[in-house]
A and B are shown apart, each in its own frame.
Chain A
Amino acid sequence: MTKPYFEPDIMRISWGPQHPMSGQTRILLDVDGEKVYRIIADLGFTHRGIEKILENRTFLKGIIPMERLVMADTPNIGLGYVSAIEEALGIEVPERAHWIRSLMCEMARINSHLYAFGLQAESTGYFPAVFLWTTVDRAVLLELFEELTGARWSFNFFLPGGVHADLPDGFEDKVIEGVHYLRRRFQDYWVAMVENAIFEMRCDDVAILKPEDAIRLGATGPVLRGSDVAMDVRRDEPYAAYGDLDFEVITESACDSMARTKVRFREIGQSLSMMEQIANEIPSGPFRTRVPLFVRAKAGEVLSRVESARGELGVHLFTDGGMNPYRVKINSPTLRNMFVFERMAELDEILVADIPVVINSIDPWYLDSDR
């Protein structure tokens, strides 16, 4: 950064936790007038000790607190833990269960990205209309979830060895119906957000994160792909049914806040096409292999990676031969992206008005960063 002509008169603003847009965190901003010189993210307001809770529960009971990490995206988070357990216990999963898992993960990804759009629109000063439209459209997915799992929100549907239940009759048709409805709605979102002139002015060239910086600072998920780095665990280390599905890894070369939003937009298109593929080509067979309720794992360690809506989630599971995990280390995407957010003021010129735009382009879920 070039040295300014005069020393800035720094004023420190505490942005949150009691702020309309901050969420459950506090961000300290060193500002001089409108310009932000330093961002300090003060995380930890929602620390619940989930890693410690997991140590005191059996493998199966641990799935429930684990899903509380990201409520908008429970299948992806749950799958990270469940696949770690399966690897530790050496359980085979039937093919159909893999496909059902992928279906749910993609539905949850759309749900989570819709929530992110709503917040992104609101952070540019949009009237809450777009936020409420996305909320209404999420109901389509929630009803599908309800029919499949019995719950609209936290499902606890994935078990070591498969899933809780098979697809209900005619569920595939409903999925395709929902896909068609959401495709139609995404045209509206594209017009309301990406093609809206003022939205474009607010997001274009804001908080540019160059590819080398994104890699150096450890960005992940749509933030990394928005910086033109094609990295996706679903393609690099296929899990569940992703090896058989046809999709592309979305990247945008603009590297700004708009690129991150566009990545989410286009990823939803991929997720919808994957939902369609799964509904059309899902193999028949058993959906679950029986696993005893209390099992002991051999001593060792296992690392599982999944691509959640916010980025790569790593679950490092240590076992010591008991019925509980010895230690679970969760590498959560929001924490990694928050490190990137903290460096934004050094990488690009940020104004106070850009802070909500930038932070929602990262799409944070603070509960996720405070395990």
Chain B
Amino acid sequence: MEKMNALFTLWEYCLTFVYLPLDLISKWVTDMFNLSMDILWNLPSYSIRFLTFNAKPLLQVLIFPGLAFILVFAIIAVWFERKFLARAMLRVGPYYCGKRSGVLQVFADFIKLFMKEIIIPEDIDWFFFVMMPVLLPTIPALSLILIPFDQNWVLWDVGSLSLPMFFAIAGLAPLIPIFAGWASNNKYTYIGAFRVAYMYISAEIPLVLCGAAVAIMAGSFDLLKIVEAQRNMWFAIPQFIGFVIFFLGIMIEAERTPFDIPVAEVELVLGWRTEFSGILFGFTMMAEYVMFQAWTLLFITLYLGGFNGPNILGSTMYSHIFWFLLKFAVLVAIIILLRCVFPRLRMDQMLRLGWFYLTPLAVLNLIIVLAMKLWGIY
């Protein structure tokens, strides 16, 4: 009998292995059901609470330094470039879409690019070919989160890491054209990709050296403190050499005209972008403007006083953002209009400029700043 009892106990013990999970699962299901019903029932109040806690970051990500700002800038810059450079060519530019101003032409082009077939050539690396153009606008857009538009309007305040962080994020960008050019399996894209590699290496070193000089002068790597330090005088005045080098540097990084060597149309068809079509090409075009935007904003932050300016709009924050955007607009217009007075440099001349002129001058700039700091002039 005892044996039977023991067997029975064993049987029951075995059954628990079945019942226990069933019990747990049923409990989990009822819990989940209750929870989800609870969430559904309270969804309006939950979402209101979520939005009240995260309103500012959401607004920043979706609208101001984020998505909407990037898209609107790209649209306005493309429109400005097409309409105003057309005047230099004795043309009127886009004319029919959006009446005489031609504003809607950009949207029309975007829709056209979106609807077009994406032609994918034979024998390419699928993953890199499709992924890289999609990834391309993301990295420079990511670096926008570090730019301070006001003391209280920084998307991601990393304190004393923000300047090195910007260079680290933006320094990733040239890898993508190189991968894309290699993956396209075309000789023109191959040459274009290597031009990108040479060009960015020769430009990034002077840029980092100039950034170091600015950080030394401000006494911090924090972009907010750098802006604070320029409250009385813009760094463009004491560091004029660095100002000029950085100006050339952002034109190189954004591939603006005297330095649009990787996509030289008359030499390499369209450089590393040759094989992209449809919306993939649209992404590469957009990436150019996002890159331009990120570096120009950094340039203003480092040399042109950032958001500093007289309070004219009543609120400090709004006037800070206003001054920042005004400086940005003027600088972008200047860089775009420079396109009609310069031909393109050759690759070897570009490298000579980068290594023989910009880098030594950036070192000289650093030494001057150190000396000023040492003797307490600034």
Contact = CB atoms under 8 A, between A and B. Distances in A.
Interface of A: 11, 13, 19-21, 31, 33-34, 121-129, 132-133, 136, 196, 198-199, 201-202, 351-356
A127 B346 contact: no
Which 4 pairs, one residue from A and one from B, show the smallest C-beta to C-beta distance?
Answer: A125-B344, A124-B343, A21-B266, A132-B89
B344 A352 contact: no
A199 B343 contact: yes
The residue among B88, B260, B346, B347 with the most chain A CB atoms within 10 A of its own CB is B346
B265 interface: yes
A19 B186 CA distance: 14
A122 B346 contact: no
Contacts of B257: 125, 127
Interface stretch (B94-102, B187-195, B308-316): B187-195
B260 A125 contact: yes
B134 interface: no
A254 to B, nearest CB: 18
B347 A353 contact: yes
- B187, B260, B266, B269 pick with most chain A CB within 10 angstroms: B266
B343 A34 contact: no
B91 interface: yes
A351 B347 contact: yes
Contacts of A33: 191, 194
A197 to B, nearest CB: 9
A127 B187 contact: no
A196 B347 contact: no
Interface residues of B, number: 30
Interface of B: 85, 88-91, 187-188, 191, 194, 257-258, 260-261, 264-269, 339-349
A252 B365 CA distance: 43
A201 B90 contact: no
Nearest to A196: B343
Given A198-B342, A354-B346, A133 B90 contact: yes
A198 B191 contact: no
Given A11-B187, A127-B85, A352 B267 contact: yes
B343 A125 contact: yes
Nearest to A133: B90
Contact of A136 (B90, B191, B260, B343): B90
Given A129-B88, A352-B268, A13 B187 contact: yes
A202 B340 contact: no
B266 A125 contact: yes
A121 B343 contact: yes
B266 A122 contact: yes
A89 to B, nearest CB: 47
Contacts of B88: 127, 129
Given A34-B347, A201-B346, A351-B346, A125 B264 contact: yes
Given A125-B343, A129-B340, A198 B258 contact: yes
17 contacts: A11-B187, A19-B269, A21-B265, A125-B257, A125-B260, A125-B266, A125-B345, A127-B88, A127-B340, A129-B340, A198-B345, A199-B343, A202-B346, A351-B346, A352-B267, A352-B268, A353-B347
A123 B91 CA distance: 20
